[in-house]
Homo-oligomer: A and B are copies of this chain.
Amino acid sequence: MTVETLEAGTKTAETPEALVERIATEGRAAQRVLARMSDAQKAEALRAAAKALRSEEAAILEANAKDIAAGEEKGLSGAMLDRLRLDPERLAGIADAVEAVASLPDPVGQVIEESSRPNGLKMSRVRIPIGLIGIIYESRPNVTADAAALCLRSGNAALLRGGSEAVHSNHAIRAAFAKGLASAGIPEAAIQLVPTQDRAVVGAMLTAAGLIDMIVPRGGKSLVARVQSDARVPVLAHLDGINHTYVHADADEATAVDVAVNAKMRRTGICGAMETLLLDAQFPASAKVVAALIEAGCELRGDARARAIDSRILAATDEDWDTEYLEAILAVKVVDGLDAALDHIAAHSSGHTDVIITRDDAAAERFLAEVDSAIVMVNASSQFADGGEFGLGAEIGIATGRLHARGPVALEGLTTYKWQVRGTGQARP
């Protein structure tokens, strides 16, 4: 099986594996150049890329118009067309975001720890880029620039594979970005876009162990599930965000109402949105929390005890406890105390973000210690689960795996380390 690619106007045919090997090898070579560049050089290159995104506005918006026209013809939903659409303001936002990443501190070269051994050897663990990062994403063309900027800032090369709907936009953004990089002396292959939309190439990327060092999927659950199930390359991702907010017996009433409504209703479609509300049987103001959610426009689905609180709550099925709605629907359950809440969360959480509302410090600390999720919060909305809100300046994604990096992942999560050992002729006895 071969795939056709369109590069520099000439069609070539090769297998998906050969294509991935070829472009990954180019990307790895470019990354070796990048790894030798200084903080200032990388920052300057990103500023040049942002400048090019602004100066190439006409070409990028023209390419985007083609995608929008094709999308309308294909009958894409209004929401999908909206995710796809660029205008001068959105493009300026993309360029601004690249400049913001340029201003973040460079993690590369940071000494994580140092020690001297009794034999005089000096040990240091030093941050280095991971290498070549594969980004597999769907219809949002801003990911092209966002992911490229984060990879480049941390000294990594990127191999981008965007959605078919955004193909013209992605190529135009990548071309402008690469022009900026080239003006700062960075090889264009540092940021590559897979030159075909053939889906077999995604499979070849997922199994390219040794060529691609890490894959970050950005998109819906079916994309992430496929990547997680097929990848032989390490994956940084979260499959879903089945996030719980537990209102403890000793919760402050106003906090419970405000945080619950915000956690569910501020934006229902993001991975940090609350999907299950656990109300302690001893919490006296459950009716107020429930009423506030319903009045904010949320559909509630509860167990029998929850339905006894408010007759507007619909009956939940077992499935509701494991559902990421991503809309104005919420599962509600009454639990008997902290242990029951911890048990429910252990059984049903997706390990993304779980929250306790309480004034009881001991209960809060037990929750923080015992809930085994990437993010655990006390008295705050789960919608804060975001790299920017965590002070990371940006994020490549949120990870719920257990190794390497968890929660919001930004530049540090795109690095690894090596050991440097400085001796004076030591031989091991």
Flag whether A312 is at the interface (Cβ < 8 A). no
What are the 6 closest A-B residue pairs judged by CB atoms, nearest first? A380-B423, A262-B427, A255-B425, A377-B421, A383-B428, A379-B423
Residues of B contacting A123 in the complex (Cβ-Cβ under 8 angstroms): 390-391
Per the 8 Å Cβ criterion, residues 332-373 of A in contact with B are 346, 364, 368-370, 372-373
Q: By the criterion CB–CB under 8 Å, are A121 and B428 in contact?
A: no
Binds B, one of A158-166, A170-178, A187-195, A401-409: A401-409
Q: Which of A369-395 contact B (CB under 8 A)?
A: 369-370, 372-381, 383-384, 389-391
The stretch from A8-16, A42-50, A79-87, A412-420 touching chain B is A412-420
Q: Does A138 contact B (CB under 8 A)?
A: no
Taking A384-B421, A403-B234, A404-B403 as contacts, is the C-beta distance between A428 and B389 under 8 angstroms? yes
**Dominant secondary structure at the A interface:** mixed
Measured between C-beta atoms, what is the minimum distance from A298 to chain B in Å? Answer: 15
Answer yes or no: A52 CB below 8 A from chain B CBs. Answer: no
- The interface size of chain A toward B, counting residues with CB under 8 Å, comes to 62
| Residues of the B chain whose Cβ atoms lie less than 8 Å from the Cβ of A383 | 427-428
Nearest CB in chain B: distance from A57 CB, A: 30
- Report Cα–Cα, A248/B280, bound state, in Å: 70
Q: State whether the Cβ of A131 lies closer than 8 Å to any Cβ in chain B.
A: yes
**Contact of B36 with A370 in the complex, beta carbons under 8 Å:** yes
Q: Which residues of B contact A68 (CB under 8 A)?
A: none
**Residue A74 is within 8 A (CB to CB) of chain B in the complex:** no
Contact of A254 among B255, B374, B381, B425 (CB under 8 A): B425
- Name the distance in Å between A427's Cβ and chain B's nearest Cβ: 3
Q: Is A381 a contact partner of B259 (Cβ separation < 8 A)?
A: no
